[in-house]
Amino acid sequence: MLTETAYAKVNLALHVRRRREDGYHDLESLFAFVDRGDVLSAAPRADGGLSLTISGPFAQGLDSGAHNLVMRAAQSLQSVCPERSRGTYAQGPSTSLGNSGGVRDDASGQLGANLHLTKNLPVASGIGGGSADAAAALRLLNRLWGCNLTDRALCVIGETLGSDIPACVISQSLRVEGRGEALEPLDLPGLSGIPILLVNPGIPLGTAPVFRGWDQVDRGPLDTSSLQAVISSGRNDLEAPARALVPEIADVLERLRSTPGVTLSRMSGSGATCFALYDSPAARATAEQALAAEYPAWWLMSGMLR
């Protein structure tokens, strides 16, 4: 059995520039990824089938059937995996086990897997969620099945499933433009390893109504020339419409910004999860302990930026 982390995504800044004729929005965003998230595991199965089970604190109510993004990602990869015609499983990207140690389905020649998702991240919360899970499925099954596909090829598959999935396949800091398909890797000095605290007030928030509430005012481009530029001049243009739908977001941000050692606090994506970056792990730990005691209904997760 192999495992893969579906890393939580945060938008350190999110500028909405315009609404396009196709209904999508042109965005400029800086994606960063936390070193924690959901966990996906997979074991090969001999009949070429696919199954998904889900556990964890946010598993309740999730559909594990064919419409789940993890299953859709698995089906998409299954249809194009170069190993499919041979019916062999591999331990890694370049090692084929064949009949000596793998599992073979001579009848169909199709690769299959039993998948299990441990859902640690809240649903509809602006931190990747299903997109990160689908991306983890592509990375994981690419290894399990020995498909040998590059990240670029996995991103092409991911783009057919959702706008954020290609970025989540890479799961490194990225400047993202368009509706999410234009990705530029960014290595901003000082970004990797920053302590981060994620906080959600416990209220799910759908993306579509938040975008519908955007006031359609273009407030200018995103400067990603440095981390300081992102902190000082970046923003999240979806915060106002999200706060109109979930006023508790304002409470979370106000409390985070009052904690000692915080260097940046914003809402991530379309909300309702907010984040704070800290100048030290000790400051983050102190903030986490205080918030957990004061607001037991809030969801908190601490980590480091990858």
Q: Which residues contact 179 (CB under 8 A, 6 or more apart)?
A: 20, 24, 25, 26, 27, 163
| SS3 assignment, position 87 | coil
Tokens read off for 40:
């996906």
Is residue 75 located within the same domain as residue 43?
Answer: yes
pLDDT, tens digit (0-9, with 9 covering 90-100), for 99-123: 323 343 434 567 899 999 999 999 9
Q: What is the CATH number for 235? A: 3.30.70.890
Could you give the percent of the chain with pLDDT greater than 70? 91
Domain membership of residue 241 (yes or no) is: yes
Question: Which residues sit opposite 30 in a β-bridge?
Answer: 13, 175
Q: Which of 9, 38, 105, 237 is catalytic?
A: 9
pLDDT, tens digit (0-9, with 9 covering 90-100), for 1-50: 999 999 999 999 999 999 998 888 999 999 999 999 999 999 999 899 99
Is residue 208 located within the same domain as residue 104?
Answer: no
In terms of DSSP bridges, do strands 182-185 and 174-178 run parallel, antiparallel, or are they unpaired? antiparallel
How many domains does the structure of the chain reveal? 2
Is residue 11 located within the same domain as residue 118?
Answer: yes
Annotated active-site residue 215? The verdict is no
Rounded CA-CA distance 59/117 in Å is 9
What is the residue-averaged pLDDT of the chain?
Answer: 91
Domain membership of residue 40 (yes or no) is: yes
Boundary of a domain, candidates 157, 185, 213:
185
Domain membership of residue 190 (yes or no) is: no
Rounded CA-CA distance 279/149 in Å is 38
What domain range includes position 145? 2-185
Is residue 127 located within the same domain as residue 203?
Answer: no
Is residue 30 located within the same domain as residue 158?
Answer: yes
A 10 A CB-CB count for 19 gives: 14
Domain membership of residue 37 (yes or no) is: yes
Write down the H helix ranges in the chain.
Answer: 69-80, 98-101, 130-144, 151-159, 165-170, 207-212, 227-233, 239-245, 248-257, 281-294
Q: Between the CA atoms of 275, 277, 281 and 285, what dihedral angle is there, to the nearest 10 degrees?
A: -30
Q: What is the CATH number for 107? A: 3.30.230.10
- In order, the DSSP letters of 211-237 are HHT-----------SSHHHHHHH--BT
Q: Which of 38, 105, 164, 237 is catalytic?
A: 164
Annotated active-site residue 9? The verdict is yes
Domain membership of residue 109 (yes or no) is: yes
Is residue 180 located within the same domain as residue 40?
Answer: yes
CA angle 38, 53, 198 (to 5 degrees): 20
pLDDT, tens digit (0-9, with 9 covering 90-100), for 152-202: 999 999 999 999 999 999 999 999 999 888 999 999 999 999 999 999 999
